Structure 1
Amino acid sequence: MKRVLLFTLCFLLLGIGNTFAQCAMCRSTLENNFSNGNPGVGAGINTGILYLLVMPYLAVIILGYFWLKSSRNAQQELSGRTSSR
């Protein structure tokens, strides 16, 4: 269990450098806004990109946690029934 969490954490941390990259269309939009004197749009777009990146991973982690918790509870309940006989 701890190995899986450690592997996942390392995988996510190694991928952090790539999260600041942008697609060509986003980059051209940001360059146009920056040349017009509005650099604040770039921070908003970068935050939105990071938000969209994190949400699927967060959903999988939460679902995996609840699945693991229910699996362990079912296993403990099953072992409790067999030891009482």
Structure 2
Amino acid sequence: MVNKRYIILLVGLLSSPIVSAQCAMCRAVLESGSDQKVAEGVNNGIMYLMVIPYILVAVVGYFVFKSKKS
């Protein structure tokens, strides 16, 4: 059962399309300039900031689940 969950998680992570998360205003302002590397860096930073809370919630949920299970 545990192996099945890991396989499903792995397939989900590997098959998801690569996305760039950014707000519309930041993207419009940064892409209007000539330096695309700066725009790409800001967009990646926004994506990293967005992912951290989800990871924290998942970790806390995992530990709560493990404590309730035992």
TM-score tier (shorter) = 0.5 to 0.7
The runs of 5 or more residues in structure 2 that have no matched partner are: none
| Pair 1:47 & 2:44 matched | yes
Structure 1-normalised TM-score? Answer: 0.53
Among 15, 40, 58, the residue aligned to 1:61: 58
Tell me which residue corresponds to 1:10.
Answer: 12
- Bigger CA radius of gyration: 1
Structure 2-normalised TM-score? Answer: 0.61
Superposition RMSD in Å: 2.9
Larger RCO (alpha carbons 8 Å, 6+ apart): 2
How many residues are treated as equivalent by the alignment?
68
Runs of 4+ in 1 over 6 A off after TM superposition: none
Structure 2 Cα separation of the partners of residues 28 and 64 of structure 1: 36
The amino acid of 1:30's aligned partner reads L
The runs of 5 or more residues in structure 1 that have no matched partner are: 76-85
Between Structure 1 and Structure 2, which shows a larger proportion of helix residues?
1
Report if aligned partners of 2:27, 2:43 keep a CA contact under 8 Å in 1: no
The amino acid of 1:27's aligned partner reads R
CA displacement at 1:64 relative to structure 2: 1.2
